Structure 1
Amino acid sequence: MSRKLIVDVLVCGGGSAGIVAALAAARNGAETLVVEKAPFAGGIITATGLPFFDGIAHAETHEVVVRGIPFEIGVRMGLCQPGDTHIRPHNPRIRNIEKFKLLTDELLTSRPNLQVLYHTSVCDVKADGGRIRHVMIANKDGLVTVEAKQIIDATGDGDVAAWSGSEVDKNDPLMPMTMHFRVGHVHARKGLGSEAREHLLRAQDRGELPMFYGPAIMFAFAKDEAYFHAIRVAGDGTDAADLTRAEIQGRKDAWTIFRILKTNLPEFADSYFIGSGPFIGIRETRRLVGQYVMTEDDALTSRHFDDAVATGCWYLDVHPNTTTLGSANDTERVQPSPYDIPYRALLSKDVSNLAVAGRCHSATALAASSTRVNVTAMAMGEAAGTAAALAVEANDELGQLDGTKVRERLEFVNAGPTR
């Protein structure tokens, strides 16, 4: 017999969006549960190993565009100061991912009305009459039924949205996945990336390496530790067999790159493989088709929305399923000015007590290539969590709330849209 949990707000996923959604809901008084499949929170930062706080400030002006809980996290990590209005670089680097894990643990256990369950996956959704009745989760306790008044899908893949009967979309082809990895005892020097590129191209010609990009070899954590953005694996992160294949291929490619560079470049002669991310990095899978579908034109024209609840600023970051040399993208970089993300772009048009935050929110594929980065996802999470608590407080539904009221509550705590 399965156990049952009853809460006000259930947050599915403890990544960038989910952490902040759970904190916002709890700080606004809701009994909140957040569940996460990994043994830690943090999403792409901790589970994949991407250390950049992308989306907190605009690339050209360096103006801070996200405040509230995401900015608070940045301050706690030493990435910015409380009074900062501009940040250089615009995407500050988290130099200690283990410290970030500790901070998220502390935040998610900081309030008596907030519970976190790691090692816990959402496995089923029961919905009828345009409302989610309960969500099934699985962990060491077995199957657990969670009855929540309001639900936030922060899974990244739109699992809850899809399983609830909400309309979702998926691009074809999907952007490739990337396995991040780190190599120690590397001697940094100018031009190392371009020389590495030549050796990787030869390996590709020999059939040893399917495809790659860059490679971007960054000394993000220590002066003798190389952090690689280089691997591309095509596939669908919502297909279990495809995802398994991608994880296996990603690790194989990481070791292939390491061995090629260790053999051919003196700067890698004494190097050693530190490790790859616990999970492969997924750029896109399902996207909600919600009450409003945000478009790339909305971003590029900085369209104003009365129900704006967050601000985005990242460039249209599209990765192709091909090798691209020296760059992640095969198109010219398009950089918008800061733009609004409307509340309706977080809402299912089919299920009244569901909001979606993070890269699976309601947007076109091109728009989502900008909104998918982690601080923008955090900002959406704060909006969704705040709205969920407001809905509970008013005995209302997420899908029925006035977005301007959500924005006003966010602005009251110095969060929400900044443009």
Structure 2
Amino acid sequence: MYQYSKTISREIETDVLVVGAGSAGFGAAVAAARNGAKTLIIEKGSEMGGMATTGLVGPFMTCFDDDAKEQVVKGIFDELCLRMEEKGGAIHPSKVEGMTTYSSYYIKSHCHVTPFVSEVLAITMEEMLLESGAEILYQTNVIDVIAENRRIEKVVVAMKEGLATIKAKYVIDCTGDADIASEAGFEMTIGSEKDGVMQPTSLFFEVGNIDREAFVGELESKISRLGIPGANCWSWYIEEAKENGDWHLERNEIGNYEQPIKNRWKINATRIPYIDATKSKDITKALIEGRKQVQEVLSFMRKYVPGCENIELIQVASCLGVRETRRIAGEYSLTAEDILAQKHFEDAICTFAYAIDIHNSEGGGATFKQVNHYYNIPYRCLLPQKTKNLIVAGRSISGTSEAAASYRVIPCCIATGEAAGTAAAMALNENLTPAKIDAGKLQKQLIKQGAVIKDL
């Protein structure tokens, strides 16, 4: 054990501190600032977007109900989609059907996905954030949290110029891993309730120089000729590659998502199981393995997939794609049963409908349960138990591992972020703890901002 002490003279003060500039953090910071709070968002990386930019994760999964008829995630999320579309960097989800190149020929929960270009997303998020009046600090790493009696007093960060403390009246944890809540001593769970195992990680990558006519023509021919879902077309090639010793991955399909830019595709094919992404050693191991798997997938596509003979690697994600780590123990824990039963919540703050999508650690497949039309998420899921000034948004809100397999995706993260930011500004204006604000007033404000909350 080594004890170390240092006097930190640099201090930053703000009303609302948002930690993490991924999808949830983006929604939270924009909402808090637009509602009048002095807002600072800090990010350990160099751009907005998190998984969707540095992680290259895309497209946005469906923001429509499970019947693919009504868009149920709007507000800041929809504004983001429209603004990217104006730049030529996205296609609005209302214009994208299932069983297309944009959805990798999936149909369940893949009608009305949002194809986007990651670079355009980062720029658009940044523009919206700055227009809201919020401030951002990149290359700022949290190294400690000073908390007392379930109140975050200060967050200690490492900046380029040295250590600093940030004092905020309200803190929103959008780290994805509940880092702030964990460091502050709030209770939480990690991974599956049964054994603690987390869903496998992945490393997305982008490719170009595909002969689109040959590639798409072959896939669509197999779909039509064999009468199989689009995703299953890949198992046809993979089985042949396995027999020849050219495929060793624990995956039997390849997600290939065309982007709204000529001859550019996002590929989701790697799978690295049994990784605890709250540990640097595990993250390092997964990144190294992921990059090896990228090369194997590319070799496979060149050899076996028509139209991919001259495929070229454009880029590999610079951060690991993480589906699951910590989740807070909140004032309410959402369950899969709540989702499937479409349970009514008086304090609902957003509506969602993506399937319960659990990637298996072994065997290469996934457990995929569609929801009944849609479901709501209660505000209490964003509140660590007995919190004085901390709110959580994104995939680490309170819920079971199975429930999180649905709400972990980007449109929902932005929606919970918008709710968290709006709630923080409301608590600030009324000098209340987050749990004491009027849920009805919060709902009215969110709806005024364009959010959809069904069954009120």
CA distance in 1, matches of 2:78, 2:371: 22
Deviation (angstroms), 1:413: 2.4
Partner of 1:243: 283
Q: Alpha-carbon deviation of 1:260?
A: 3.1
**Alpha-carbon spacing, 1:283–1:332, altered in 2? closer, same or farther (3 Å):** closer
- Whole-Å separation in 1 of the counterparts to 2:445 and 2:260: 38
Shift in alpha-carbon separation, 1:226–1:194, aligned structure 2, 3 A: farther
Which residue number in structure 1 is paired with residue 391 of structure 2? Answer: 355
CA-CA distance at 1:197 after TM superposition: 1.6
Q: Which residue of 2 aligns with 1:193?
A: 234
Instruction: Verify: 1:105 aligned to 2:126, yes or no.
Output: yes
**Conservation of the 8 A alpha-carbon contact between 2:241 and 2:304:** no
SS state at 2:13 partner: strand
Residue aligning to 2:345: 305
The equivalent of 1:270 in structure 2 is: 310
Question: Which runs of no fewer than 5 residues in structure 2 stay unpaired?
Answer: 1-7, 99-110, 220-232
Partner AA of 2:16 in structure 1: V
Instruction: Kindly tell me the number of residue pairs found equivalent between the two proteins.
Output: 410
One-letter amino acid matched to 2:259:
A
2:429 maps to 1:393: yes
Q: 1:336 — aligned with what?
A: 372
Equivalent AA in structure 1 for residue 444 of structure 2: E
Letter of the 1:28 counterpart: N
Does residue 46 of structure 1 match 2:53? yes
Task: Confirm or deny: 8 A CA contact 1:77 1:94 kept in the other structure.
Answer: no
Match of 1:66 in 2: 73
Q: What TM-score, normalized by structure 1, do the two folds share?
A: 0.92
Q: Return the alpha-carbon distance in structure 2 between the equivalents of residues 302 and 265 of structure 1.
A: 42
Distance change (3 Å), C-alpha of 1:28 and 1:143? same
1:181 aligns with 2:181: no
- From the superposition, tell whether residues 265 and 292 of structure 1 become closer, same or farther in structure 2 (CA, over 3 Å): closer
Aligned counterparts of 2:263 and 2:15: Cα–Cα separation in 1? 48
Work out which of the residue numbers 329, 332, 349 in structure 2 matches 1:292: 332
Alignment of 1:1-400 (within 5 A): 1-78=8-85, 88=97, 90-112=111-133, 114-171=134-191, 172-187=196-211, 188=215, 189-191=217-219, 193-202=234-243, 209-222=248-261, 224-234=263-273, 235-265=275-305, 267-324=307-364, 328-329=365-366, 331-400=367-436
Task: Give, in whole Å, the separation in 1 of the partners of 2:162 and 2:252.
Answer: 42
Name the SS of the counterpart of 1:9 in structure 2. Answer: strand
- Counterparts of 2:393 and 2:139, CA distance in 1: 21
Cα 1:2/1:337, change in 2 over 3 Å: farther
Distance of 1:278 and 1:408 partners within structure 2: 39
| Residue-by-residue CA offset, 1:115-135 (whole Å, 9 max, x unaligned) | 011112222111111211111
* 1:163-193 Cα shifts (integer Å, max 9, x gaps): 1111110122100001111222122132373
* TM-superposition CA deviations, 1:86-124 (whole Å, max 9, x none): 974533333322111110111121144x10111122221
User: CA RMSD of the aligned region, Å?
Assistant: 2.2
Displacement of 1:198: 2.7
Q: Find the aligned partners of 2:241 and 2:347 in 1 and give their Cα distance.
A: 48
Aligned residues of 1:407 and 1:416 also touching (Cα < 8 A): no
Equivalent position amino acid for 1:333 in 2: K
C-alpha displacement at 1:223, in angstroms? 5.7
CA deviation after TM superposition for structure 1 residue 265, in Å? 4.6
Q: Which amino acid aligns with 1:247?
A: L
Larger displacement relative to structure 2 (19-28 or 399-408): 399-408
Secondary structure at 1:231 match in 2:
coil
Distance 2:17 2:328 in 1: 18
Paired with 2:447 and 2:300, the residues of 1 have a C-alpha distance of 52
Between the aligned partners of 1:318 and 1:232, the Cα distance in structure 2 is 13
Contact 2:55 2:204 in 1 (8 A): yes
- Unpaired segments ≥5 residues, structure 1: none
How much has 1:369 moved relative to structure 2? 0.6
Q: State the alpha-carbon separation in 2 of the partners of residues 200 and 350 from structure 1.
A: 54
- Match for 2:203: what amino acid? M
Alpha-carbon contact 1:58-1:337 (below 8 Å) kept: yes
Please state whether the residue corresponding to 1:145 is helix, strand or coil.
strand
The question of whether the paired residues in 1 share the 8 Å contact of 2:22 and 2:174 is answered with yes
**What CA distance in whole angstroms lies between the structure 1 residues aligned with 2:338 and 2:406?**
11
In 2, Cα distance between equivalents of 1:2 and 1:198: 62
**Cα distance between partner residues in 2 of 1:201 and 1:142:** 52
What percentage of aligned pairs have identical amino acids?
A: 34
Deviation of 1:80 after TM superposition, in Å, equals 6.9
Distance 2:258 2:318 in 1: 20
Q: Does the aligned pair in 1 maintain the 2:174–2:394 contact within 8 Å?
A: yes
CA distance in 2, matches of 1:414, 1:260: 45
SS at match of 1:75: helix
